[in-house]
Structure 1
Amino acid sequence: MSLQLFELFKGFRLMDLLDIAIVAYVSYKAIQLIRGTRAVQLLRGLIVFVVFTKVSEWLGLYTINWLLKNATTVGVIALLVVFQPELRRALEQLGRSRFFASPLFGLGEEDLHRLIDNLAEAAEELSKNKIGALIVLERQTGLNEYIETGVNIGGYVTAELLINIFIPNTPLHDGAVIIRNDKIMAAGCYFPLTENPNLSKELGTRHRAALGVTEQSDAVAIIVSEETGVISVAKEGKLSRYLDVKTLKNMLKEVYQLNEKKPNLLYWRRLNG
């Protein structure tokens, strides 16, 4: 037995291990990418199709096998069309990798803190009054195609302006606000809804639009429910609900890379020396 194992691994190289590791990592990321989307059902159908092709070959069902093999040629093109949203998302994530990363924001730390305070204050006030709102923060992926669906604003972010935009029965309250750096680029914007079939039915259009835009970009969305006043944050196609103002601020600090730095030992000694 040990001799057989030795013969098996005799020609095994370090590059073979690297090759296996890369394939495993890519497969893992692909599964993460399609999990919770309609692509899961499509992938199951594809597996069944391949199994039927092999079974028909083993059983000598030549006509069926010929049809299935010829359908495979057309199927490759069909898969590119069907999986277009997932492929687009994968390429966007590749483009947002650290290798291509650039600074997210052109604002100083003081301006970012002011921005976070205004966003949190607006969300708190909207929540208290149960006024529905969807505020989307642009990051590396440009949202110009969605900005064009709304009304240009171009004003600096203030809690008062955000609250006024979402007041019911006003022209812009139904759509979303898009923020770039510390400016409201547009209001009344519309996004594609998520196609995630596993979402709770209690989630309305705002939540589904927030998940939709965060699935197709690296944007972050703040949602205030009109029915319950619950504050939520959508990021990378995932939803965090029932947030208080403190938690919202902490999440926004992570988004804007303002995590509090702990003083190191040398600094502590100087302070207490």
Structure 2
Amino acid sequence: MQGLDLSFLHIRLLDVVDIILVAVIMYYVYNLIRGTIAVNILFGLVIIYLAYILVDQLSMRLLSRILGGFVQVGFLALIIVFQQEIRRFLLLIGKNANLKKNTWWTYFFGDKTLKKTNLAYIKATLDACKSMKASRTGALIIFAKYFDEQYYQNSGESMDAHISKRLLESIFQKYSPLHDGAVVITDGKLKCASCILPLTDNENLPLHFGLRHRAGIGISEVSDAVAVIVSEETGEIAYAKQGRVKMNVGYAELERLLNKDA
């Protein structure tokens, strides 16, 4: 009696590394699309592909040709449908690759000047949020690591100002011509105000979320930016990152999040 051939079970170290890398990529992709409409689109594409395999095995020629044509351009369709998610994935990979700002010296020892700047504008933001929460002044403040003109400057008023509590308050006060929209902060500077941002397509958000919340979540879906939202109705502070939102954020938690992400 011949022994069972188990040669196909031979696994190299590189095979293990390959599996781990694929698992990590799938994990990050899932995190990027979790809770968004892209999940439903992905399920629809999987169902179409499984249907194609089924009709092909059953020799249903007409359906096989129709679905086969769709599958053949599947890669191009994926790029078109998931362009925002692909953009976010590439930003996630390259967000720490800016050698101009992150040299090996600052990587290991830190940049004291940059840390002081961060502390200054984060404190100014916190103080402004406290004041706007008390007065129930609606606000949308975006912290972006990269200033992308596609989403920011082209839709708002260009600025290059030092951040202060009074400046933020004056922008978002009810009768300011710049209050309707978002301000964008990059590299410790207020780059532009009154920006119109892309709204999220997430259908699972609470019904009481207004345009500020949906815009803050939307920009965090398509970029590496984070958003601080002050509700005009309740004064509550929300924090949006990677398409997810934390509600009723306290000042201590907001400071911790901004120090980590901004």
TM-score range with shorter-chain normalisation? 0.7 to 0.9
Residue of structure 1 aligned with 2:243, choices 237, 240, 248? 237
Larger Rg, first or second structure (1 or 2): 1
Q: Is 1:161 the counterpart of 2:167 in the alignment?
A: yes
Change (3 A) 1:245 1:5: farther
Counterpart in the other structure of 1:43: 42
Change (3 A) 1:67 1:247: closer
Please give the alpha-carbon distance, in whole angstroms, between the structure 2 residues aligned to 1:142 and 1:154.
12
Q: Which amino acid aligns with 1:180?
A: T
Change (3 A) 1:107 1:206: farther
Residue of structure 1 aligned with 2:148, choices 128, 133, 143? 143
Counterpart in the other structure of 2:213: 207
2:132·2:230 contact (CA, 8 Å) conserved in 1? yes
2:137·2:230 contact (CA, 8 Å) conserved in 1? yes
2:141·2:227 contact (CA, 8 Å) conserved in 1? yes
- What is the TM-score of this pair, normalised by structure 2? 0.86
Q: Is 1:125 the counterpart of 2:128 in the alignment?
A: no
- Runs of 5+ consecutive residues of structure 1 not aligned to the other structure: 257-273
Residue of structure 1 aligned with 2:140, choices 128, 134, 138? 134
Counterpart mapping for 1:84-103 below 5 A: 84-96=83-95, 98=96, 102-103=101-102
Change (3 A) 1:220 1:107: farther
Please give the alpha-carbon distance, in whole angstroms, between the structure 1 residues aligned to 2:41 and 2:81.
9
SS at structure 2 position matched to 1:148: helix
Please give the alpha-carbon distance, in whole angstroms, between the structure 2 residues aligned to 1:182 and 1:19.
40
Change (3 A) 1:116 1:100: closer
SS at structure 1 position matched to 2:199: coil
Q: Which amino acid aligns with 1:197?
A: E
Cα offset, 1:159, TM superposition: 0.4
Counterpart in the other structure of 2:23: 24
Q: Which amino acid aligns with 1:233?
A: Y
Percent identity over the alignment is 34
1:107·1:181 contact (CA, 8 Å) conserved in 2? no
Runs of 4+ in structure 1 displaced over 6 angstroms? none
Change (3 A) 1:148 1:62: closer
